[in-house]
Amino acid sequence: MSFELHEECGVFGIWGDADAAQKAYWGTFSLQHRGQESAGIGVLHDGRLAVEKGMGLLQDAVPQVVQDLAVGQAAIGHVRYSTTGDSAPVNAQPLLMHTRFGPLALAHNGNLVNHRSLRHQLEAEGAIFQGTSDSEVLAHLLARSRRPDFEKALLEAASRLSGGFAFVLLTPEGLFGIRDPFGIRPLVLGRTDQGAYVLASETCALDMVDAPWVRDIEPGEMVKISDQGLVSQKFRQSEGARPCAFEVIYFSRPDSRHQGESMHLKRRQLGKRLAEEAPAEADVVVGVPDSSLPAAMGYAEASGIRFDFGLVKNRYIARTFIAPDASAREKGVQLKLSAVREVVEGKRVVLIDDSLVRGTTSRHIIRLLRQAGAKEVHMRIASPPYLEPCHYGIDTSRAGELAARNLTVTQLAEMVGADSLAFLSPDGLTSALGSSGWCLACFGRGYPVPVERPVEM
């Protein structure tokens, strides 16, 4: 659980279920960890689309979904943390649009790196944008397409997008899913025993609605799901899958799976490899809850050092990265975490975290452990040094604020107050992940999709 890395969104869609609205609500609820700024549900009933959305958590944004939107054969859902566009009601999703093809509800996960140039071009042609998020660009490309039908217009619009993205779109004719040509952002397909198809950002949402995983949507693929079944088309040929490594390291729920493999077990492998690369003489291994706990367990298993719960998380505090400024975020960390004195007092502690971005959170956690009596704190990070900002849908600091980019490991250890500090190597990361082809741009391994310079508006 890094308080300094912020996921962008989660999407969900279901077609062909009499309880689609309710299942979309619970499926979207299971993705709440991917965004807490706003949430919404869109429902199709008798050819009409209705959207309920608002700011905050899903239960606050859509409190009456079961009563008000219970009828419908298809639905989509969205949870948002803004990476492009303001945190404002106008940017809450699903977006409801009325086009020449009919009504459309749209939900987006990711970031379009060419959204500025596309928006500039569309506005020059007379398009009027309602909000500031990049998600609206796709709707305007659709609206201005000269293609004769919706599917051809959608394929054309998708082919003009660059970045890391996954869209679900709901129309009276069908549910559509789109994934970027490098597969940076996740989108999975499931199917219930009753034959309903489900699209989601993670398999944990499929599990919530009893829809076993069928496959991942392929990079550069568009699927249409309707009463006639599922049809797949390519809007752009893939140059090779480059899924985001941080889905495994941090973002996805530990009970989700990537290509059928457990996120929890992957994170344990990260911890085991970290113990091999960066051993420490210590008495207890402590993980930062929650996402770092599997890596801490793996480190303890490989090192032979006892694992224990030396940090406790207050689960009734919203994620600290929602706070608008640094002082508020720090107070949020203080409210959210506390050290267990009986576990760490007089002990040499190995502290495992999944990432280190600015380092402010790490400094506070180490201070907590020392105040609880820890004799030594040896920090180990279950990912490589974070060197470059993400442009594909993760809200990270500017390059100048990335601690590992500007300081040596020794200086970093001094800054956070650790007796020692070590990161997992890039080779150790790819070895633990067990396959090649990951997006490792944030670790200085190159951006798979070129990032455009801002266009003067």
Give the catalytic positions in this structure. Answer: 9
Closest to 404 measured CA to CA, from 432, 443, 369: 443
439 marked among binding-site residues: yes
How far apart CA 193 and CA 359 sit, in angstroms, is 47
Q: Which of 185, 204, 328 is nearest to 243 (CA)?
A: 185
What are φ and ψ of residue 448, in 5° steps? -65, -30
Amino acid, res. 91: N
149 is in an annotated binding site: no
| CA 114 – CA 104 distance, rounded (Å) | 23
Would you say 442 is a known binding-site residue? yes
Rounded to 5 degrees, φ, ψ at 258 are -115, 120
Q: Rounded CA gap, 368 and 339, in Å?
A: 6
Residue 204 is assigned to a ligand binding site? no
Q: Which among 353, 285, 333 is positioned nearest to 2, based on CA atoms?
A: 353
Asked whether residue 362 is marked as a ligand-binding residue, the answer is no
| Phi and psi, residue 139, nearest 5° | -60, -40
The response to whether 60 counts as a known ligand-binding position is no
Residue list, annotated binding site for [4Fe-4S] cluster? 244, 390, 439, 442
Residue positions in the annotated binding site for Mg(2+)? 291, 353-354
Annotated binding site: 244, 291, 353-354, 390, 439, 442
